Amino acid sequence: MTLDAQITVIRNKFLQELKLAKTSKHIERLKVNYLGKKGSLQALMQLLKDATKEDRPFFGKQINDLKFEISSHLENSFKRLALEEETLKLENEYIDVTLPGRKHFWGRYHIVTLTMNKMIDAFVSMGFSVETGPDIDSDFYNFEGLNFAKDHPARDMQDTFYISEDLLLRTHTSNVQVRVMENFKPPIRCIAPGKCFRNETISSRSHVFFNQVELFYIDENVSFADLFATIDQFFVKFFEKPIETRFRPSYFPFVEPGMECDIKCILCSGQGCSLCKNTGWLEVFGAGMIHPNVLKAGGIDSEKYSGYAAGIGVERLAMLMHQINDIRLFTENDMRFLEQFDL
Ligand code: PHE
């Protein structure tokens, strides 16, 4: 085949292959095949050596022209395809920033923890320190040291889960009182938050498991007035509005005198509603002046010192605060309930 014909064959073959090239990668491959070191044009250049002296400049120019033609074709196609590919890539990566985001679930504190923390914060801001006691305790700290004699009928007030003759699940956070007295000298001003257990029938109003915050203050000349002022201040901090309180005589072996404390109904402000069962008042906790026998059990001179104590139910306050009508909701782990409470 003459050189002339070979040039034509290569040009046609190139143009055909160019038509089939659909991606920039194909173009790159064509470039190697035609213009590369071992490419078709290089082969033509080899053949040029065999041409006669007269023919050489003519064919040389033809080959060069073809080389130019091929490279400009390749360059144009490459640019066009690369641009198309880039556009397609951008289209695929397109993010619609107006789409509403997917909501992530963040963990949160349980409503009881939130309530307890709010109570703790209020008391700490009033100068109370925080102490804790064991959930499993001895009869002494839960009862005996708190002036419950062995056969004291008041033990029946608190149905107890016994683990052994002497060990039990504490029925109240008052078990921390004597423990703290043994370890600290007055003035003592502390709170003791924690879990309590009672062997009661579970209903919407009572549960076998609940939480309390105990508070007590022991010093010289501590009186009822200190208790009233502290309680009033606590409720203002907790409910973030002025709250009227009322104290009624009651009985607990470890306080004398003992009281039950009510607050003016937070829902109807005393007018009477279903929350307060039309009484206008809500019963919230027990309190009183610490019995001399308890101070003695804790090694504190009851002639010199006096103190008050109170135990507040955490679930009870949470129920009042959020108008929750069933204490069982706190332990059922129903997300629809739990998700409602944020702080
Ligand atoms: N511990 C008592 C209860 O659980 C409450 C209380 C605490 C009463 C301190 C008086 C003083 O019922």
How far is Cα 67 from Cα 2, in angstroms, rounded to an integer? 18
Distance from C-alpha of 285 to C-alpha of 88, rounded to nearest angstrom: 70
For residue 106, the CA-to-ligand 1 centroid distance in Å is 36
Position 293 pLDDT exceeds 70:
yes
| pLDDT at residue 47 greater than cutoff 90 | no
Q: What secondary structure does DSSP assign to 51-63, as a single string? A: S-TTHHHHHHHHH
- Cβ neighbors of 340 (< 8 A, separation 6 or more) are 322
Taking alpha carbons only, the member of 254, 251, 218 closest to residue 144 is: 254
Q: Is 310 in the pocket of ligand 1 (CB under 6 A)?
A: yes
Can you give the three-state secondary structure of 118-170, one letter per residue? HHHHHHHHCCCEECCCCCEEEHHHHCHHHCCCCCCHHHHHCCCCECCCCEEEC
Chain position carrying tokens 């963990």: 107
- pLDDT surpasses 70 at 202: yes
Q: How far is the CA of 178 from the centre of ligand 1 (A)?
A: 14
Q: Is 286 in the pocket of ligand 1 (CB under 6 A)?
A: yes
Average pLDDT (114-128) is: 97
Give the C-alpha distances (Å, rounded to integers) separating 81 from 6, 25, 71, 314: 29, 9, 15, 71
Token representation of residue 178: 């004597």
In this predicted structure, what is the pLDDT of residue 158?
67
pLDDT tens track for 310-327? 999 999 999 989 988 889
DSSP, res 291: P
Cα 313 to Cα 61, 150, 269, 292, distances in angstroms: 103, 26, 21, 25
Mutate to test the pocket of ligand 1, among 174, 216, 234 (most ligand atoms within 8 A of CB): 174
Is the pTM of the predicted complex or chain greater than 0.85? no
Instruction: Encode pLDDT of 3-24 as tens digits.
Output: 888 999 999 999 999 999 999 9
**CATH code for the structural domain at 111-338:** 3.30.930.10
**252 alpha carbon to ligand 1 midpoint, in Å?**
7
Q: Is the pLDDT reported for residue 277 higher than 90?
A: no
pLDDT (mean) for 295-309: 97
Nearest CA to ligand 1 atom 10: 287
Q: Is the CB of 252 under 6 A from ligand 1?
A: yes
| Residue 1 reports pLDDT greater than 80 | no
309 lines ligand 1 (CB under 6 A): yes
Residue found by looking up tokens 């739990």 in the block: 338
Out of 172, 176, 217, 256, mutate this one to test ligand 1's pocket (max ligand atoms within 8 Å of CB): namely 172
Q: Is the CB of 288 under 6 A from ligand 1?
A: yes
For the stretch 137-184, pLDDT in tens is: 999 999 999 999 888 776 766 689 999 989 999 999 999 999 999 999
Q: Which atom of ligand 1 is nearest to the CA of 310?
A: 9
Average confidence (pLDDT) over 278-300: 94
What stretches of the chain show up as alpha helix (H) in DSSP? 3-20, 24-35, 40-48, 55-93, 111-125, 139-142, 175-183, 224-239, 292-297, 314-322, 335-338
Q: Tens of pLDDT along 27-46?
A: 999 999 999 999 998 988 88
By alpha-carbon position, which residue is closest to atom 12 of ligand 1?
A: 286
**Window from 14-28, 95-109, 292-306 with minimum mean pLDDT:** 95-109
What's the rounded mean pLDDT across residues 50-63? 87
Mean pLDDT of 52-65: 89
Check residue 310 and give its pLDDT. Answer: 97
Residue 245 scores a pLDDT above 80: yes
Q: Is the pLDDT of residue 268 over 90?
A: no
- Residue 283 is predicted with a pLDDT of 87
Q: Which of 128, 148, 137 is nearest to 218 (CA)?
A: 128
Q: How far apart are CA 107 and CA 338, in angstroms?
A: 10
Check pocket membership of 146 for ligand 1, CB cut-off 6 A.
no
pLDDT at 275 over 90: no
Is the shortest distance between the CB of 198 and ligand 1 below 6 Å?
no
* Residue 311 Cβ contacting ligand 1 at under 6 Å: yes
First to last CA, the chain: 90
* Share of residues in the chain with pLDDT > 90 (%): 69
Q: Is 172 in the pocket of ligand 1 (CB under 6 A)?
A: yes
Share of the chain above pLDDT 70, in %: 98
